[in-house]
């Protein structure tokens, strides 16, 4: 196996960690936006509830005014009824009084409905304001958690980048470039282990001769998978020539004694 392979393996391990940390760091702005959106929604809900309350209060004042106006009109007709001279005029005023009192009753019913709606609007405002306060507290905490995690991950990333430089230092320039080119095509993977006769990057068969060369030390050749192109390495032990298992030795002994 090439002497730079252990350094390349370490480089790939660190690169994978760097990608994972950077991916996590990239999630933090989205989490902040989501927290802000939640807070914005709560503020919008408060504004809408307050607007409904204001409109309800306006309607309430309008019907209060209507009730008073119809009451005043009915009172005016009653006052006039004592001064009329004819039955026709008296009947006409009585009709106007009855009509005004009917309008008073209608306006009071409407006023009652508006009062109930206003009370409900007030309740919704209190509820929306309470939700907003809870959300403000939660978002403040969430922001602090995100800021703490972001600082920790940034520190971890800086440490990994320094670790990468240390892993990179012993690797020859040509192998650095080869690793970089391959990793760009394979989502950050430049190497794959050859194990059990297969490339663990793509699952395709590795030639026995290649496996033998990978196990041979020292060996300054770089071997790549013929299928996926990843740099191959192996951690499998080198077989000892002529070695046999206990059962094989027993079988051989039995043959020799027969």
Residue 46 sits in a domain whose CATH number is: 1.10.287.1490
Q: Which long-range contacts (CB under 8 A, 24 or more apart) does 65-68 make?
A: 66/103, 66/107, 66/110, 66/111, 67/104, 67/107, 67/108, 67/111
| Residue 255: inside a domain | no
Tell me: the pLDDT tens digits for 90-117? 888 788 888 888 888 888 888 888 888 8
Domain, as residue range, for 86: 5-168
Whether residues 163 and 179 share a domain: the answer is no
What b-and-e string marks burial along 199-208, b requiring 16 or more CB atoms within 10 Å of the CB?
Answer: bbbeeeebee
pTM higher than the cut 0.85: no
Beta strands in 43-157 (DSSP E): none
Whether residues 194 and 98 share a domain: the answer is no
Whether residues 102 and 204 share a domain: the answer is no
Q: Read off the DSSP letter of residue 191.
A: E
Whether residues 119 and 38 share a domain: the answer is yes
Contact 169, 175 (CB under 8 A): no
The vertex-119 CA angle with 115 and 124, nearest 5°, equals: 145
**CA–CA separation, 177 and 102 (whole Å):** 94
Contact 205, 249 (CB under 8 A): no
Determine which helix (DSSP H) or strand (DSSP E) holds 94, and give its type and residue range: helix 87-168
Tell me: the pLDDT tens digits for 213-254? 998 877 789 999 999 999 999 987 755 555 444 444 433 333
- Give me the numbers of helices (H) and strands (E) for the chain, helices first please: 5, 3
What mean pLDDT do residues 59-83 have? Answer: 83
Determine which helix (DSSP H) or strand (DSSP E) holds 151, and give its type and residue range: helix 87-168
Tell me: the pLDDT tens digits for 171-181? 999 999 999 99
**CA–CA separation, 232 and 205 (whole Å):** 12
Q: Which percentage of the chain shows pLDDT scores above 90?
A: 60
**CA–CA separation, 99 and 77 (whole Å):** 11
Whether residues 55 and 18 share a domain: the answer is yes
**CA–CA separation, 165 and 15 (whole Å):** 11
Whether residues 195 and 99 share a domain: the answer is no
pLDDT score, position 249: 42
- The total domain count for the chain is 2
* Tokens of residue 209, six digits: 């001769």
pLDDT score, position 72: 87
């Amino acid at each position: 196996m090439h002497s730079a392979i252990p350094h390349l393996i370490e480089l790939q391990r660190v690169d994978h960690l760097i990608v994972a940390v950077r991916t996590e760091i990239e999630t933090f702005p989205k989490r902040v936006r989501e927290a802000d959106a939640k807070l914005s929604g709560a503020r919008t809900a408060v504004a809408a509830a307050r607007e409904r309350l204001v409109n309800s209060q306006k309607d309430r004042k309008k019907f209060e005014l209507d009730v008073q106006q119809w009451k005043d009109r009915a009172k005016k007709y009653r006052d006039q009824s004592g001064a009329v001279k004819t039955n026709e005029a008296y009947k006409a005023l009585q009709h106007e009084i009855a009509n005004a009192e009917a309008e008073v009753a209608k306006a009071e019913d409407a006023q009652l409905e508006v009062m109930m709606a206003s009370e409900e609007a007030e309740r919704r405002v209190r509820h929306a304001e309470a939700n907003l306060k809870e959300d403000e507290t939660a978002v403040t905490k969430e922001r602090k958690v995100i800021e703490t995690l972001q600082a920790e991950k940034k520190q971890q990333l800086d440490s990994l980048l320094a670790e990468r430089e240390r892993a990179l230092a012993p690797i020859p320039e040509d192998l650095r470039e080869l690793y970089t080119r391959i990793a760009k095509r394979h989502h950050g993977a430049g190497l794959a282990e050859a194990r059990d006769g297969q490339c663990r990057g793509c699952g395709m068969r590795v030639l026995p001769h290649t496996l033998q060369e990978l196990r041979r030390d020292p060996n300054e050749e770089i071997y790549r998978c013929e299928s996926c192109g990843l740099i191959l390495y192996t951690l499998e032990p080198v077989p000892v020539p002529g070695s046999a298992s206990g059962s094989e030795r027993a079988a051989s002994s039995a043959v020799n004694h027969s």
